[in-house]
Chain A
Amino acid sequence: AQRVTQPEKLLSVFKGAPVELKCNYSYSGSPELFWYVQYSRQRLQLLLRHISRESIKGFTADLNKGETSFHLKKPFAQEEDSSMYYCALSPQGGSEKLVFGKGTKLTVNP
């Protein structure tokens, strides 16, 4: 069965500090991995997907198949990054199902 684990329920950093939100997955094939962000009173929106290898709002994430991880990183956190972050997995083969982790609430303090 597919599973996504975000070990930190809460993460607090100071503005300008580096931040890393951890995501580990369990899946025997080659999944698609995503990071979604849900700002307060706003809709859930895609932040990154591993296949595109892009950087959005200064965030990057690298898929490490050996460690089955897809950690989200930003070198210098900003206060506006404070939000709930969800890591999600889509199984191989065109499944329509997204499996979400439980989420990490990031707080960036001034």
Chain B
Amino acid sequence: DTEVTQTPKHLVMGMTNKKSLKCEQHMGHRAMYWYKQKAKKPPELMFVYSYEKLSINESVPSRFSPECPNSSLLNLHLHALQPEDSALYLCASSQRVPYEQFFGPGTRLTVL
């Protein structure tokens, strides 16, 4: 399996909802990433997990909470989001750094 998978593909949520995004890879990669991408903009790094430990948090608001249950899984828990949080959320993984990052297809999130 040489892909990063993300679920769900699309998510619509209200500002009071709690939801989670899931990312999975079975390539044995030890670094996993969350990015946020607005339309026609480059991805913006949110979090990096290295060997299942959070190594980078790019000053992301606490309404986004990452979790790495094991080396193959990465979750992003969402709570009390704002409409401006609507975006494509990308997950990526890499064998190590600075090797290439493999990206998932993304979750298109809409916050109403």
List chain A residues, Cβ under 8 A from B42: 86, 100-103
Q: Is the C-beta of B97 less than 8 angstroms from some C-beta in chain A?
A: yes
List chain A residues, Cβ under 8 A from B92: 44
List chain A residues, Cβ under 8 A from B100: 34, 46, 49
* Count of chain A residues with a beta carbon within 8 Å of a chain B beta carbon: 22
Which of B33, B56, B94, B104 is A43 in contact with, Cβ under 8 Å? B104
* Contact B98 A43, beta carbon cutoff 8 Å: no
Q: Which residues in window 40-89 of B have CB below 8 A to A?
A: 40-43, 45, 48, 50, 55-56
List chain A residues, Cβ under 8 A from B90: 43-44
Tell me the bound Cα distance from A45 to B92 in angstroms.
10
Which stretch from A14-22, A66-74, A75-83, A89-97 is at the chain B interface?
A89-97
Q: Nearest chain B CB to A49's CB is how many angstroms away?
A: 6
* Contact A32 B98, beta carbon cutoff 8 Å: yes
Which of B40, B43, B97, B104 is A96 in contact with, Cβ under 8 Å? B97
Tell me the bound Cα distance from A43 to B42 in angstroms.
13
Q: Nearest chain A CB to B43's CB is how many angstroms away?
A: 6
Q: Nearest chain B CB to A101's CB is how many angstroms away?
A: 7
Q: A46-B100, A49-B100 are in contact. Are A98 and B45 (CB under 8 A)?
A: yes
Tell me the bound Cα distance from A11 to B96 in angstroms.
33
* Contact B103 A90, beta carbon cutoff 8 Å: no
Q: A32-B98, A44-B90, A102-B42 are in contact. Are A97 and B105 (CB under 8 A)?
A: no
- Partner-A contacts on B (CB < 8 A): 31, 33, 40-43, 45, 48, 50, 55-56, 90, 92, 94, 96-98, 100-106
The 4 closest A-B pairs by CB, nearest first: A90-B98, A100-B42, A32-B98, A44-B103
